Structure 1
Amino acid sequence: MIRRVFYPCLISLVFISAFLCSSIPEPVIALTLTLDTQFDTDFSYRRHDDLSRTTEKILMDSLVAIRDHRMDVALHRMETLIKAHPEFRLAQLIYGDLLLSKDRPITGIGNYPGAPLDDVIGLREEARQRFKHHLSFPGSAAFPEYIVRLPGDLVWVVVVDISKSRLYLYENHGKGIYLRGDYYVSVGKNGSPKRFEGDKKTPIGVYATTNSIPLETLPDRYGVGAFPINYPNEWDKQLGRTGDGIWIHGVPKDTYSRTPRASDGCIAVANTDLLSMKDILATPNTPVILAKGISWIEPEEVVARRDRFEERFNRWRRSWESLNHRKYAEYYSHDFQNGVQDYTSWLRHKRRVNAGKRYIQVRVSNLSIFGYPGERNMLVVTFDQDYRSDNFGSRSKKRQYWRQEKAPHTNDGVWRIVYENVL
């Protein structure tokens, strides 16, 4: 039996029809772009039948029917949806409007005495975010700008567009990277970026999962799981940002989803969606990119960006091996920090260490490159480093933050390292 909990007039059919004035795209199609060593521009596509049966697909089918004035079809679809998810407040809301439309026209949003205004505003914004995504998501036509290169041993990447309330899950498999999931999410009450403890904002940057919180210790408001990320990261600490406890977690069991800005800074995902990702999020060091807006770019542009930067990166490595101190220093910004030394003290240290060496050999493997959201022209680069010289050898995982800086005789600027550390 359907639990008929209605919010009459919260979202008008007039509003829905106006919002869906343009055509609805086809169900999400998997996107493939080769991102490992043999990087090319070949795309391949395949439909994911499971995506076409998601809750969001049913919701969109209903809204398209409303737009086309097929109210009986819309009502049937919404009945199907709330049978499956009676706790889905937005679905109940639209279902209530459909029932009311049989007796009288809907003249406004929440246009009745005693309407809970905060709920009206939040649910309306949830509807708007979901609709806007389906109307504007480029699907198979483009690729998120922040994924530049993935190593072969890195399987999953999470990309969150805070401004659109969406989470995209990508799998690095075989010769390409595939879009495996596309989910609605809720973020911090006060938006982004996070700067200090208690500001109820969601961070902007490149992060990674750390572990999972035991389910038996979680209050109900975190739903079916919680997976912390490593905020603040190295760059956040350099900028003096504070706070912690940023998680990707579920929602209370009596609701299907939360309104777009409802958390204290975390990423809140519907429990059904979180369950589909839990093993991925529980894997430490899964990249999580949190962005306030995503530029979707053509695969050829991704290739060109990667190739231009990797040429600079390889020159940095060769300059280190050359024992030419001045040439090596050119790859480091005057703003450079490593958590212990600034540019001047680091330069002095390097000059002293390298003075007595006869040779240096540096090998790099498992290179990953991500664009850094919220920072103009910045890349975060992580790799395994095998260092050898005549008097010392080491293996380590290194992370560098590269920034494109103005330089003479070029309009494009020059990539230099502003932060570097061993993980």
Structure 2
Amino acid sequence: MSATNFFTGNPDLVEVFDKVIPWARVVGAVEGPGADVAGTVSTWREVLDLAGRYIATEIAPRAAEVDAIGVIRENGLVRMNEPMLENLRGLAELGLASPSVPADFGGAGLPFTVTMMIGEMLARADLSTQVQHGIGWNSPAALIYRFGTDEQKARYLPPLAKGEIMGAVAMTEPQAGSDVGRLATTATPRQDGCWILQGRKQFISAGQGDMVIVLARSVAGSSGLDGLGMFIADREGDNYVVERAEHKFVIRASPTCALLFDGTRATPLGKPGDGWKQILTFMNESRLGVGIQGIGVATAALEKASEYAAQRVQMGKPIREHPMVAEMLLDMETTVTGARALAYTAAVLQDLVLFGRDEEAARDLRELTPLVKWYGTEGAVRVCRLALQIHGGVGVVDEYDVGRFMRDSLITPIYEGTSQIQSLMAVR
């Protein structure tokens, strides 16, 4: 029987929380010296318990329907389907739309480590919903909080924290994927302080939202990674165009959009020209997040494979008692457990860097980030493949969830830096 709480019902995640995370260091960095460590950790645990119960009992049961309906495309408009919207409304009502936004702006003020645990549980339930939650709410909120003016923070953070608006981050272009230096979208200043964006972006997760943070070339004559800047563009008034949502066989319900900027009005986020340095913080966090996505999907696949192997009887005994199947299950569990330990080690380092400005943690984090992304995502594909094999013929039947897990796992080694890019980074 499936768990009714994806936090308390996951013994390994609970053990990581209770015994592995050095909470005194995290609380000290996040809340400051003299903070009540026990009380703060108890509060964060209660949040995870609340989130784990809602995700397991509400979001997970809707996942197949969310996937089957996919993205809604009507009259030239792109939108999320109703079960997906119900998932997101529920998270917002629990105060978990952008949980890392500080309380001063209406958020829960959670550290990165706890936010990633919520992300893992969401990915276990439904990766499409997790992408919309992470990219649509968390990522733009983090960038605006980190680099925005007081006016930008006051304007965007409260509605993002409440789930009233959704954003996106637009980097990729038709000719500029992993090679960001080939980026061609331009930002040109006007005398009134407004900047004008010109160009196209593609493969933008959650691109159907209300605003977007755009990486554009802001210094005329610059090339490569120099001269880039980040800009906020509101969609209101057809300021930019959502040209289409791609038809995909992975994360079917998460709109992956092509965006057209043609005279789009925008305001700088941070200093124009420093965009590459600024966007790196998003990329590094996203790579950790995608590694944790892989862990969530792999956990779901392991759960279903374990249940099926216990119920399916062949040659007089459950197939889990056959040595080769038992070895497959052990391989899956070891992969998930190892990836989780690696990922939350990195998540703690991210908190120490974000809140404590810890330079030693920053060095360690640079080494671990590509490993988390590579191992968490490549491991997810292997675990889902083994889960499919354990299910045999029924694994490719739509009424069983493992086919969806297999499909969704395949995107994780690709976006936010391919496994090959992670390999190059790891050996530098």
Please identify which structure carries the higher helix content.
2
TM-score normalised to structure 1 length: 0.26
TM-score normalised to structure 2 length: 0.26
Please identify which structure carries the higher strand content.
1
